[in-house]
Chain A
Amino acid sequence: MAEYASRTRPSPGRHPLSTEFIAKHQRARVIVALANEVAEKGYRAVTIADIVRRAGIARNTFYENFTGKEDCFLAASELAAKESLRRVIDAAVEVDTWPNRVSAGLSAFLDYVAGEPALARACIVEALAAGPAAVNRYERSVQAFVPLFRMGRKVSTHGTALPSTVEEAIVGGIFWVIYQHLVNGDAERIKELLPELVEFSLTPYLGAEAARRAAAETA
């Protein structure tokens, strides 16, 4: 543990890092440690001692940044939600047409989940077991993706006739499929879900045939 600490901590004494910089990175390191611990043991079993040990920081440092485990977990969820949304939007604006945007956005999202399996497991699977605030946080992050799908109403021939809940059901369905893959330990196969999730999301707007063609292009 001492070795780990010396590798990851700035060396004591003279260093050019501002305290603000160090604080910011300490926070990030604690969040990463929490995500790994939660992914391995489940939210409930993780202790502050586990987190500080893994992060290689002092217990005091933890409490300088967070009020407790839940606060730290919420910060991790916040980070993952912001980062995933940013990546989805960045990917979506790179392409024109709405079906391509959905496809690019979903692809970026699946890449993020596959690239950060511990964070994804913590935020998507464990969030549900981490108390009411975490569940609310989770719901808000999921709903943040609704507008990307809602744009499809403009290109749909029957956009105004679609039930008002379609987007909510689509994002709920996408997250449930990803959740199942994470729970069943299929995280490495998450990216393979792209064509079927694209098709699932586009079908209500474009009809099954057009959705299938768009999904086939992602393969």
Chain B
Amino acid sequence: MNLDPGTPTEEAEEYPPELARLPPGRHGLPREFVAHNQRERLIAGLAEAVAENGYGGTTIAHITRHAAVSRRTFYEHFASKDECFVAAYDTVMAELSERVGQAFEEQEDWPRAVKAGIGAMLGFLAAEPNLARLCIVEALVAGPAVVERYDAAIQSFVPYFRSGREGRSPEVLSRLSPTTEEALVGGMMSLISRRIIAGKTMELESLLPDLVEFTLSPYLGGAEAAKVAREG
């Protein structure tokens, strides 16, 4: 808890190096880099402010204080709090997608790739509770523009599951319906978001076996899915 809201404190030092506060005065950095850096800082500042105050309670003053930039700088980058939130949301979701995609690509067989992808998602959200809250809880109260992105982000996981249809027997394929993947992704995200809403972000990683078994079952059958889910 920062009891001295007037000055930015050590908190700024805890940012990853690229987000840390630039030294004041002439730093000789290219203008474009500074601008980018400010933007990143504002995004990180928004995430912290929203974690502290909720989206509704967050003001631009909160954001600029956390980011340690001036109000004017804020308005050079964003027209409003909403716009800054959307940028933060997109940044976090891009990072999450990249991690999931990478983890998925690294595995050769599909069931293990799904397991690795889900593991990467849970790992990221558990390690970044503020960002998890931002993307799952606050996103929903931040207005229609973000809700649309939220929908799109969830649906973006559908193809990973759909690729599990490749090479399956006609018998397996015949029992998958057009909405199977949507239902699996919806079920998975519902489990994840309920824990984040309840403030149990730290428990997310323990969901891995359940989610793997649930999502693989339609393709592999229950027994095989349970086996993959419980492998070390």
Q: B217: which A residues are within 8 A, CB to CB?
A: 203-204, 208
Set of chain A residues within 8 Å of B137, measured between Cβ atoms? 132, 135
Which single residue of chain A is at the shortest CB-CB distance from B188? A169
- Of B14-22, B93-101, B123-131, B174-182, which binds chain A? B174-182
Question: When the two chains form their complex, are residues B222 and A204 in contact, meaning their CB atoms are under 8 A apart?
Answer: yes
Q: B-facing mask of A85-119, CB < 8 A → 1, else 0?
A: 00000000000000000000000000000000000
Q: How far is the CB of A205 from chain B (nearest CB, A)?
A: 9
Chain A residue contacts of B180, Cβ below 8 A: 196, 200
B186 touches A (CB below 8 Å): yes
Contact present for A175 and B190 (CB under 8 Å) = yes
Taken residue by residue from 161 to 182, chain B's Cβ proximity to chain A (1 for < 8 Å, 0 otherwise) reads as 0000000000010110111101
Decide yes or no whether B184 CB sits under 8 A from chain A. Answer: yes
B226 lies within 8 A of chain A by Cβ? yes
Give chain B's interface residue range (CB within 8 Å of chain A).
Answer: 35 or more
Q: Which applies to chain B's interface (DSSP): helix, strand, loop or mixed?
A: helix
B147, A169: Cβ atoms closer than 8 Å = no
Chain B min CB distance to A15 (Å): 42
Interface residues of A in 168-195 (CB under 8 A from B): 168-177, 179-180, 183, 193, 195
Cβ of B147 and Cβ of A173 under 8 Å apart? no
The reply to whether B191 and A165 contact each other, CB–CB distance below 8 Å, is: yes
Select one of A42, A129, A163 contacting B209, CB under 8 A.
A163
- Size of the chain A interface, CB-CB below 8 angstroms: 42
A54 vs chain B, min Cβ distance (A): 21
22 A–B pairs (Cβ distance < 8 Å), ordered by A: A132-B141, A164-B210, A165-B210, A165-B214, A168-B194, A173-B183, A173-B184, A173-B185, A173-B187, A174-B183, A174-B186, A175-B190, A176-B154, A183-B151, A196-B177, A196-B183, A199-B177, A200-B183, A203-B175, A203-B218, A204-B222, A212-B174
Q: Which 5 A-B pairs have the closest CB atoms?
A: A176-B186, A172-B190, A173-B187, A196-B177, A169-B187
Residues of B bordering A, CB below 8 Å: 54, 56, 137, 140-141, 143-144, 147, 150-151, 154-155, 172, 174-175, 177-180, 182-191, 194, 197, 207, 209-211, 213-214, 217-218, 221-222, 226
